[in-house]
Structures are given as C-alpha cells and as structure tokens.
Amino acid sequence: MAKMGNLVNNKFQRDVFQAIADPTRRQLLTLLAQAEREMSIAAIAKRFPISRTAINKHLQVLADARLVCARKIGRETRYILTPDPLNELQQWLSFFNRYWDNHLSHLKAIVESDDNI
C-alpha cells in the first residue's frame, strides 16, 4: 500500500491509522496520556465498561502499532503511551490543514472583495 512521501507501512507493524480508528482505542490512548505513567491492565480495565479480555485485545492492537509499550512485572502487564508513531498521523493531517487554510483564505478574499457588492 503506497503512502504519501516517506510514510511506509511495514506489513509486520499495524497501521497507526487502523489502530486509532476504534473509539475505545482512542480512549485508551487518552487515558494513558493523561496518566503520564505506566498503568496495569487491571487499572485500565476498571475504567471501561467492557471485559478485561477486550481491553487486552485493544491494547495489543495499539502495541502492534507501537503506540503503547507493554512491560511485564511478575504476573502483571503494565502499559505506557509511546506517542512517536502519532507523528505519521500529524504529518498526514498537516497536509490537509494547508489545503483548508489555502481554500479558506481564498474564500475570505472572495467574500471581502468589492466585486461581490
């Protein structure tokens, strides 16, 4: 699958866009970003109305996209946000920000021109 510029999709790494497509996974990322520390699967699961198994599957998708890092301490797995892969998303969105800025500037010029009176 081709991507813009140098954004390459490794078949062994889950796509960041796919990983954040699910609202539960976006909520997990927000929770971990706000926590600013490692959180156990038990602590994470308490905050969601779905099973611990479902949370674990969502966290695995995020880990495959390298958006979270898992660390095993004894029998407990702890997760922490690793936001660097979100740069890919930021780069993609910045292209469209420029697109809209240009179009909105053009629209503003048309609306403010004396020709429309």
**In CATH, what class is 16-83?**
mainly alpha
Tokens at 81, concatenated: 């946000």
CA distance 57 to 5: 31
Place of tokens 């490692």: 38
- What pLDDT is attached to residue 60? 96
> Which of 49, 55, 47 is closest to 22 using CA atoms?
55
Kindly report, residue by residue over 2-13, the tens digit of the pLDDT.
344 444 444 445
Kindly report, residue by residue over 15-70, the tens digit of the pLDDT.
898 999 999 999 999 999 999 899 999 999 999 999 999 999 999 999 999 999 99
Which residues, including other chains, have CB under 8 Å from residue 49's CB and lie 6 or more apart? none
- What pLDDT is attached to residue 13? 57
- What pLDDT is attached to residue 111? 81
3-state secondary structure of 69: strand
